[in-house]
């Protein structure tokens, strides 16, 4: 994908997630933000994005676990 237009940022550090989102928006991207892995998966299934940037160490569902629709009851 040469020119992604939408990005999902998933991080349990709200300040870091918001700063990354602001920076990406300044570059013209449509950015969605989630503050844990479960919320991030739900966000992605409801509004798929071109790119997902995720933290690997988060409570409940970390960034390396697979998102499965049936597990999340989305």
Domain boundaries, the chain: 6-72
**6-72 domain in CATH 3.40.50.2300?**
yes
Rounded Cα distance, 62 and 11, in Å: 9
Phi, psi of 40 (to 5 degrees): -65, -45
- Give, for all 74 residues of the chain, the pLDDT tens digit: 456 699 999 999 999 999 999 999 999 999 999 998 888 888 988 889 999 998 877 776 655 565 555 555 54
The pLDDT value given to residue 66 = 55
For every residue of 7-25, DSSP letters joined together read EEEE-S-HHHHHHHHHHHH
The pLDDT value given to residue 62 = 55
CA 22, chain centre distance (Å): 14
């Amino acid at each position: 994908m040469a020119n992604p237009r939408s990005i999902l940022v998933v991080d349990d550090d709200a300040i870091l997630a918001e700063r990354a989102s602001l920076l990406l928006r300044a570059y013209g991207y449509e950015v969605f933000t989630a503050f844990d892995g479960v919320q991030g998966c739900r966000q992605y299934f409801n509004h798929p994005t071109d790119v997902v940037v995720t933290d690997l160490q988060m409570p409940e569902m970390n960034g390396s676990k697979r998102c499965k629709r049936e597990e999340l009851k989305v």
